[in-house]
Chain A
């Protein structure tokens, strides 16, 4: 089955720790995205990548880092510099078609202890 997987589903972080969220897709999509969703809020773009070995900051990139070494994978690291990381993190991907339909993975819920 084609799709997007994210792991872990739940993640707990202590103050001062870096944590890495995994995102993998087998849809052969070139573009991948990371969003953050806070309760009652829409989605805010953290980082996006249109091609391997290239990525751009979104609206709220501070305190986050990414890599894109493989087409299928786009991991997100939440660093200790992110002061309020508790949120629902969503990974998405899209093809290079102009209509840019984005499809989402199941998400990772991160809680800071």
Chain B
């Protein structure tokens, strides 16, 4: 069983729509959760971090965390073609010093 799972996609949404990306994790007790955006051929860029249950908003991005159900999601409002990328979910499992476990990513395409 993968420790961090994401739907690989591809996920396609029309421009202006809400894109919803989901991630589940297996290690109950994980405390820190991150979303990275990775454009093709480039390195990952941190876009959101969340540590407490509930929602965290930053501009068009909202991260949602539910520790009881062991999932974390990322909503992108008013999606733009420039949001087309692979989105990686990363989790800091319990007991790790600073290492993160990454999902394999969801490829998002925003259609003009």
B97-112 interface code vs A (CB 8 A; 1 in, 0 out)? 1111011110000000
Chain B interface extent, by class? 20 to 34
Contacts of B97 in A (CB 8 A): 48, 50
Q: How many residues of A contact B (CB 8 A)?
A: 24
CB-based contact A102/B43 at 8 Å: no
Which of B43, B99, B103, B104 is close to A104, meaning CB atoms less than 8 Å apart? B43
A87 CA to B49 CA in the complex, in Å? 27
Contacts of A42 in B (CB 8 A): 4, 88, 102-105
A35 CA to B102 CA in the complex, in Å? 10
**B-to-A contact residues, CB < 8 Å:** 4, 8, 32, 34, 36, 42-46, 49, 51, 88, 90, 92, 97-100, 102-105
> How far does the Cβ of A110 sit from chain B's closest Cβ, in whole Å?
14
In the complex, which of the residues A42, A58, A94 has the most CB atoms of chain B within 10 Å of its own CB atom?
A42
A101 CA to B90 CA in the complex, in Å? 10
In the complex, which of the residues B49, B51, B99 has the most CB atoms of chain A within 10 Å of its own CB atom?
B99
A104 CA to B97 CA in the complex, in Å? 18
